Amino acid sequence: MERKTVLVSGGAGYIGSHTAVELINAGYDVVIADNLSNSDISGVEGVRAITGVDVPFVNVDCCDKQAFAQLFEQYNFDSVIHFAAYKAVGESVADPMKYYRNNLLSFINVVDLMRQYGRHNIVFSSSATVYGEADTLPVTEATERKAATSAYGNTKQMCEDILRDASGAYEQINGIALRYFNPIGAHPSALIGELPRGVPQNLVPYITQTAAGVRECLSIFGDDYPTEDGSCLRDYIDIVDLAKAHLAAINRMTEGRCNAKYEVFNVGTGRAVSVFELVKTFEKVNNLKLNYKVAPRRQGDVVAVWADTALANKELGWQAERSLEDTLRSAWEWEKRVRNIK
């Protein structure tokens, strides 16, 4: 079979690097494009170490259309997975233009250049954030999107719409948007994982850094929500499982198995887990005690969101496989490696 190349923008980052590994292991050639604005070259080195492939890396800002176009000149990829984007919800509320400029412009450039160079398949990193506080749970892909409460969330909705319209209008372009729930954990090799800059905004990196002694105490944001134990419910998806969903999407597109020019899939486990349950599971599987306290609710948090995964199971032939226990073990193994803890 002729080898196919996939461009992975943002491929040095957390989800991008794990996806690059799965693509390479499945026989794709991968080109990583990243400006390292919120990632590290070690992500690329980790991909190379795991796969034994000297995957090409290009330091480029996808907002710089001319520089980005060079990549299209140089490499003959037919598919792109576009991860490159800012992702901090709070920051996007404080500085919305930073998010609109970066996340929209880079995606518009992707679509324009794919058209210009006669390339076909675009996978976009969307988020469960598009569902907001859903009226019915679990959410299916047909569940109504709610008005975004952050510029970050708004860019996810806007890019979905851009992809829907572009693939509807242009014969050549096919689109798949993957709506991620809460990605956690690390590669079983502990050679790649999440590397947040500064104080982690997300639960699992905050937990692992607290366990490592980098943070003093985890704050659990709210224990008075209308849930069984009072904390919020989320659908935590293992990072390698999430990466494999991208592989399934790329296979589907390159093999011409899509049912429509634009498709949307939830990528979650289908299981709701509370913050307390996650913390307790982390303590149990890693045999340690975590310093934590209950703190006030965090502004903007939804009470609960988890995925109906039937569509992804059926159409992508994909389902989450790794247990929460294994995923939380891998998160701690990665943190220990980063901190040099034996």
Between residues 234 and 329, which has the closer beta carbon with respect to ligand UFG? Answer: 234
Per the document, the length of the chain is: 342
Who's near 299: CB < 8 A, 6+ residues apart?
none
Known catalytic membership, residue 152: yes
Among 51, 189, 201, 313, binds ligand UFG (CB under 6 A): 201
Dihedral angle sign, alpha carbons of residues 113, 262, 140, 278: negative
Minimum distance of ligand UFG from residue 299's CB (angstroms): 10
The region of 31-39, 42-50, 200-208, 281-289 touching ligand UFG under the rule CB under 6 A is: 200-208
d(CA 82, CA 36): 14
Instruction: Pick the closer one to ligand UFG by CB: 89 or 139.
Output: 89
Asked if 275 touches ligand UFG (CB under 6 A), the answer is yes
* Residue located via tokens 């176009």: 69
Sites for ligand UFG among residues 176-195 (CB under 6 A): 182
Q: Helices in the chain by DSSP H: which ranges?
A: 14-25, 41-51, 65-74, 89-94, 96-99, 105-116, 151-169, 203-211, 239-254, 275-286, 310-311, 324-339
When asked if residue 57 is in the footprint of ligand UFG (CB under 6 A), the reply is no
User: Which part of the chain contacts ligand UFG (CB under 6 A), choosing from 50-58, 73-81, 95-103, 298-306?
Assistant: 298-306
Please enumerate in sequence order all residues whose Cβ is within 8 A of that of 143, keeping only pairs 6 or more positions apart, or say none.
Answer: 131, 134, 135, 136
Task: List CB contacts of 101: < 8 A, sequence separation 6 or more.
Answer: 63
**Count of positions on this chain that bind ligand UFG (CB under 6 A):** 21
List of residues 6+ apart from 168 with CB closer than 8 A? 261, 262
The candidate with the shortest Cα–Cα distance to 34, out of 73, 69, 84, is: 84
Pairing of strands 233-234, 273-274: antiparallel
Of the candidates 128, 130, 122, the one whose C-alpha atom is nearest the C-alpha of residue 164 is 122
Residue of 152, 206, 236, 262 marked active site: 152
CB of 152 to ligand UFG, least distance (A): 6
**Candidate list 72, 100, 170, 221; residue touching ligand UFG; CB under 6 A:** 221
Q: Tell me which of 5, 25, 219, 227 binds ligand UFG, using CB under 6 A.
A: 219
Q: How far is the CB of 188 from ligand UFG (least distance, A)?
A: 21
Residue 279's alpha-carbon distances to 207, 293, 321, in angstroms, are 8, 11, 20
Compare residues 121 and 281 and give the one whose CB is closer to ligand UFG.
281
Residues 123-182 binding ligand UFG (CB under 6 A) are 127, 129, 152-153, 182
When CB distances to ligand UFG are compared, the closest residue is 232
Q: 3-state class of 157 per DSSP?
A: helix
Does 282 engage in binding with ligand UFG (CB under 6 A)?
Answer: no
Among 14, 31, 57, 87, binds ligand UFG (CB under 6 A): 87
Residue from 42, 189, 202, 251 binding ligand UFG (CB under 6 A): 202
Of the pair 90, 317, the CB lying nearest ligand UFG is at 90
Query: 68 or 138: whose CB is closer to ligand UFG?
Result: 138
Buried b (16+ CB within 10 A) or exposed e, 242-266: bbbbbbbbbbbbbeeebeebbbbbb
Q: Which lies closer to ligand UFG via its Cβ, residue 57 or residue 193? A: 193
Residue 69 or 93: which CB sits closer to ligand UFG? 93
Question: Active-site residues: which are they?
Answer: 152
Residues near ligand UFG (CB under 6 A) are: 87, 89, 127, 129, 152-153, 182, 201-203, 206, 218-221, 232, 234, 275, 298, 301-302
